Amino acid sequence: MTDTTTIPDTITIGDLTVHRLGFGSMQLTGPGVWGPPKDHDEAIRVLRRSVELGVDFIDTADSYGPYVAEELIAEALHPYQDDLVIATKAGLTRTGPNVWPPVGRPEYLRQEALMSLRRLKLDAIDLFQLHRIDEKVPLEDQVGELKKLQDEGKIRHIGLSEVSVEQLQEAQKIATIVSVQNLYNLAKRDAEPLLEHSEKHGIAFIPWFPLATGGLAKEGGKLDELAKKHHATPSQLALAWLLHRSPVMVPIPGTSSVAHLEDNMKAAEIELSAAEVQELEQAV
């Protein structure tokens, strides 16, 4: 092919350099992100195979299960290889499947950070993210507590999830924010202003739900047509588009299947021309 875009293979988050295609652990849990996986042994195989394939950035949260995903990560991968970066989150509680009430009280965030350290068997959490801003608690209290945990050496870096540019800027007055994690994929790009701001300021952008391509993945659809040209799957092409979209993008596709994991990881090998990137964007 000609006119292909060379994309960086790695990104530095704070002082941590990782490959730009990571792994998200949410799908390792039961239905509704509740309870244990249907196939515990396959979940363990997925985590171990991800590292074998070169994944060195794993994203999780205390609310996945709750607690199940963190426990699986420790079971599968501890003691961790030196370059493995584990990011977790707190700020959402769980009262049942698909129910996620936000709680940002400082004492709760501290408790969950300490419990995540224990479950993950870590001395310090590489990246600790506020899962949601709790509107009932002042932002300075929420981010301020994470800053205290950072000053105490319990977490290395602070990230935010589902925020606006304005909320990010307010948080940056309290602490250094190295990453944001918002819903973003080829079919849903509401977070474009945040992505552009993150790129301008060197903040990692972690898109959750990166494969929600909807009708684009249909047989005979535009994504399917382009995927066949690249001898790829629509999912691989959707991930490749994210990697080409911005050098600060860190997709974290998740799966509970080794076969799907291996399929997703091939996305990093796909080269897209500038015209193909534009064609994908215009197809939505």
Where in the sequence numbering do the catalytic residues fall? 64
Q: Which ranges constitute the DSSP H helices of 97-153?
A: 106-120, 139-151
Assigned token pair, 235: 């999912």
Half-sphere exposure (CA, 13 Å, Cβ side) for 110? 12
In 3D space, the residue among 163, 159, 216 whose CA is nearest the CA of residue 185 turns out to be 216
Biggest distance spanned by C-alpha atoms of the chain: 55
Judge whether 90 and 61 are in contact, CB under 8 Å. Answer: yes
Judge whether 163 and 206 are in contact, CB under 8 Å. Answer: no
Say if strands 57-59 and 85-90 run parallel, antiparallel, or are unpaired: parallel
C-alpha span between 224 and 36 (Å, rounded): 34
Task: Please name the amino acid found at residue 95.
Answer: T
Q: What are phi and psi of 122, to 5 degrees?
A: -120, 155
Judge whether 160 and 168 are in contact, CB under 8 Å. Answer: yes
